[in-house]
Structure formats: C-alpha cells, structure tokens
Amino acid sequence: MATASGGIPEALDGGRAGILVPPLRPDVLASTLRNLLAYPEQRDAWGKCAQINLGPLHVSRTVNETLAVYHELLAEA
C-alpha cells in the first residue's frame, strides 16, 4: 500500500501491483489497513501482486544503468 503520488503509482503498475490510497487522506489509509488486517487472504494476494514489479526497482539495476551512462560519457570524452 502506498500513496498515489509521484512515481509510486507507476511502481505499483497503476494500482494493479499494490493498493494506492489518495494523498492526505488518513481516513482512507486507516480503512484500507483495517481491511488488510481483517482479511489475510486479500493481504496475501496483494503481497504476491506487489512482487511483480519489484525487479525493475532493484538497486542493482539502477546502479548498473547509472554506470552504463557514465561509461558511455567517458568513452565519448
């Protein structure tokens, strides 16, 4: 579960890989948390969905892509 702001909706595949709640709505956040606590099978299903998009967000991918840009720039220098 995350707030639907910034790049978070993209990371959660528009809400398909995790629950998005509106920003500045603690009432919706609390209600969603209560539902997840009350229904473990739903919580488990969301947990499995959340794993789908984690690969591209892994720090090693970000590091490798950043290093590739640096190497490309150094080769051009």
With beta carbons less than 8 A apart as the criterion, state whether 17 and 1 touch: no
**Is 90 exceeded by the pLDDT of residue 1?**
no
pLDDT surpasses 80 at 55: no
Reported as a pLDDT band with limits 50, 70 and 90, residue 57 is: confident
Task: Return d(Cα 19, Cα 4) in angstroms, integer.
Answer: 9
Return the C-alpha torsion angle 45, 52, 23, 7, nearest 10: 180
Q: For the segment 38-49, what is each residue's pLDDT rounded down to a tens digit? A: 999 999 998 888
- For 2-39, the pLDDT digits (tens) are 999 998 888 788 888 889 999 999 999 999 999 999 99
| 3-class state of residue 64 by DSSP | helix
Tell me the domain boundaries of the chain. 2-76
